[in-house]
């Protein structure tokens, strides 16, 4: 009997170790260009460096396919890209400063992130991906920060190399970013002219630029109002940590991906 109990304990310990050793799979939202479905290598390199396996989620309008994809991944990164169509996504007429939009991608991203949140799959939004956390759940965007926000700082640093930080953000104590870096202020890179203006219920801004523009988003401790929400991990940043690490070699920003991979690992063994 004692030998049997020892064998059972050893088997359970081995099983626990194998679960803890599982390598998370992270889905990366794709975009289309030149008849190709793509994801930037910067995201892929960061996921690999953080200890996970990246896969690219191709654009599709088929919600059943997205549901199947979400059974294969342990986390989803919503990537940067075009402007959101303001009329279709949050009911505003487009300003003349609007840039290129891609309604097919808008539909894909919104369906994917809603499905992930409904299932409890961890979500990380970067740049457009942070803005998506607003528009997909009932929020709205500044369509053009330079013309709509008085006294705005420069949020599109082109032609400055994207690997360099160019403006500061103030970080809320107790937030995810503060937990990662232990700083109330830090420098980030910046490549956008839109940002969250109206925050959905269930989410909150935890970092802002000097002009008040939202630079980081996370849960406020509750579920997202009006949508199916299993309470999974949600985090978004307006800057590009993947470029700071993969192009600039700044290992500090890899912490964001390491943290996200750990959240994906927790989800994978539930």
pLDDT tens digits for range 65-78: 999 999 999 999 99
Q: Which residue has the higher pLDDT, 6 or 96?
A: 96
What pLDDT score does 39 carry?
Answer: 95
Is residue 6's pLDDT more than 80?
no
Active-site annotation holder among 215, 218, 242, 263: 242
Active-site annotation holder among 155, 192, 193, 240: 240
183 is known as an active-site residue? no
Is residue 10's pLDDT more than 70?
no
CA 149-151-157 angle, to 5 degrees, is 85
Composition of the chain by helix, strand, coil, percent to 5 = 35, 25, 40
Neighbours of 222 (CB within 10 A): 12
Q: Does domain 23-268 have CATH number 3.40.50.880?
A: yes
Closest CA to 187 of 241, 140, 118: 241
Active-site annotation holder among 89, 127, 130, 167: 127
127 is known as an active-site residue? yes
- Segment 63-122, tens digit of pLDDT: 999 999 999 999 999 999 999 999 999 999 999 999 999 999 999 999 999 999 999 999
Domain ranges for the chain:
23-268
Residue 219's contacts (CB-CB under 8 Å, 6 or more residues apart) are 202, 203, 204, 233, 234
What pLDDT score does 22 carry?
Answer: 84
| Residue 73 dihedral angles phi and psi, to the nearest 5° | -115, 160
Place of tokens 């965007």: 141
What pLDDT score does 34 carry?
Answer: 84
What pLDDT score does 20 carry?
Answer: 54
Q: Range with the lowest mean pLDDT among 21-35, 191-205, 220-234?
A: 21-35
167 is known as an active-site residue? no
Backbone CA torsion sign across 114, 120, 121, 123: positive
Closest CA to 29 of 68, 81, 85: 81
Counting beta carbons within 10 angstroms of the beta carbon of residue 18, is it exposed (0 to 12), middle (13 to 18) or buried (19 or more)? Answer: exposed
What pLDDT score does 33 carry?
Answer: 86
- Which tokens go with 47? 């996921």
- Segment 241-255, tens digit of pLDDT: 999 999 999 999 999
- What value does the CA radius of gyration of the chain take, rounded to a whole number of Å? 19
Provide mean pLDDT across the span 163-187.
97
Q: How far is CA 43 from CA 23, 49, 53, 126, in A?
A: 17, 10, 11, 10
């Amino acid at each position: 009997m004692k030998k049997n109990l020892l064998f059972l304990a050893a088997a359970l310990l081995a099983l626990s170790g194998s679960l803890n050793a599982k390598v998370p799979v992270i889905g990366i939202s794709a975009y289309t260009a030149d008849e190709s479905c793509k994801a930037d290598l910067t995201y892929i390199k960061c996921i690999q460096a953080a200890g996970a396996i990246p896969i690219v989620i191709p654009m599709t309008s088929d919600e059943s396919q997205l549901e199947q994809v979400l059974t294969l991944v342990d986390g989803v990164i919503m990537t940067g890209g075009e402007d959101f169509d303001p009329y279709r996504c949050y009911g505003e007429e487009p300003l003349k400063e609007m840039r290129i939009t891609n309604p097919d991608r808008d539909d894909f991203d919104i369906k994917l992130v809603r499905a992930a949140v409904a299932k409890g799959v961890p979500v990380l939004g970067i740049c457009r991906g942070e803005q998506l956390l607003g528009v997909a759940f009932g929020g709205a965007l500044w369509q053009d920060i330079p013309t709509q926000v008085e006294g705005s700082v420069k949020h599109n640093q082109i032609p400055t190399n994207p690997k360099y930080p160019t403006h500061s953000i103030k970080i809320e104590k107790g937030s995810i970013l503060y937990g990662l870096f232990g700083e109330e202020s830090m420098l980030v890179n910046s490549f956008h002219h839109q940002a969250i203006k109206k925050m959905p219920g269930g989410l909150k801004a935890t970092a802002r630029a000097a002009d008040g523009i939202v630079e980081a988003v996370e849960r406020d401790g509750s579920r997202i109002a009006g949508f199916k929400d299993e309470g999974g991990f949600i985090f978004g940043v307006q800057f590009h940590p993947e470029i700071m690490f993969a192009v600039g070699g700044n290992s500090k920003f890899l912490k964001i991906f390491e943290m996200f991979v750990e959240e994906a690992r927790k989800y994978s063994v539930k």
